Chains A and B, each alone.
Chain A
Amino acid sequence: MYPAFDGGQLRLLKEDDIKAVHEASVQLLGEVGVKVKSKAAREVFRSNGAEVDTATEIVKIPRDLLEKAISDAPSRVILYGREEKNDLHLEKARTYLGTGGTVLYALDLETGQKRRTNTQDLRDIGKMVDALENVSFYVINTYPQNVPDEAADINRFYWAITSTSKHVMGGMYTMKGLKDAIRLAEEIAGGPEKLRERPFVSFITLMVSPLVMDGLYTEFIMEIARKGLPLAIPSEPLAGATAPVTLAGTIALNNAESLAGITLAQLVNPGTPVLYGSTSSIMDLKKGYYVAGAIESAMINAALAQMAQYYQLPMYGTGGMSDSKINDSQAGYESALTAMTVALSGCNYIHDAVGLLEMCQVFSYEKMVIDDEIIGNIFRVMRGIEVNPDTLAVDRLKEIGPAGNFLVDIHTTRHFRKEFFFPKVADRRTRIDWQAAGSPDTAKRAHQMVREILAGHKPTPVDAALRARLRRQFPEIQGEES
Chain B
Amino acid sequence: MSSLEELSNAVIGGDQDAVVELTRQAIVEKVDLNSIISRGLLPGMTVVGRRFKNGDMFIPEVLMAARAMNAGLELVKPLLVDGEVPVKGTVVIGTVEGDLHDIGKNLVGMMIESNGYRVIDLGIDLEPQRFVAAVREYKPQVVGMSALLTTTMLAMKETIEVLKEEGLRDSVKVIVGGAPVSQEFADEIGADGYAPDAASATELVRRLIG
Contact = CB atoms under 8 A, between A and B. Distances in A.
B187 interface: no
B196 A407 contact: no
Interface in B16-49: none
A407 B61 contact: no
Contacts of A413: 14, 60-61, 64
Interface string B60-95: 110110110000000000000000000000000000
A408 B64 contact: yes
Contacts of B103: 405, 407
A413 B58 CA distance: 9
A410 B64 contact: yes
Nearest to A403: B102
Contact of A408 (B110, B196, B200): B110
B183 A408 contact: no
Interface in B107-123: 107, 110
A432 B199 CA distance: 13
B106 A432 contact: no
Interface string A384-426: 0000000000000000000001011110110010000000000
Contacts of A431: 196
Chain A: number of interface residues, binned into ranges: 10 to 19
A448 to B, nearest CB: 14
Contacts, number: 34
A480 interface: no
Contact of B63 (A407, A430, A433): A407
A408 B58 contact: no
A432 B183 contact: yes
A413 B66 CA distance: 13
A407 B197 contact: no
A410 B60 CA distance: 9
B93 to A, nearest CB: 15
A409 B60 contact: yes
Given A432-B183, A433-B196, A407 B110 contact: yes
- Interface of chain B, helix or strand or loop or mixed? helix
- Interface of chain A, helix or strand or loop or mixed? helix
A430 B197 contact: yes
Nearest to A430: B196
B209 interface: no
Nearest to A415: B60
B107 A407 contact: yes
Contacts of A416: 58, 60
B67 A408 contact: yes
Contacts of A409: 60, 64
Contacts of B133: none
Nearest to B64: A413
Contacts of A430: 196-197
Contacts of B63: 407-408
Contacts of B59: 407
B60 A407 contact: yes
B100 to A, nearest CB: 10
Interface string B141-172: 00000000000000000000000000000000
A405 B106 CA distance: 9
Contacts of B106: 405, 407
A431 B180 CA distance: 12
17 contacts: A405-B103, A407-B59, A407-B63, A407-B103, A407-B106, A407-B107, A407-B110, A408-B64, A408-B67, A408-B110, A409-B64, A410-B14, A410-B64, A413-B60, A430-B196, A431-B196, A432-B196
Given A408-B110, A410-B14, A430-B196, 10 more contacts: A405-B103, A407-B60, A407-B63, A407-B106, A408-B66, A408-B67, A409-B64, A412-B60, A413-B61, A416-B60
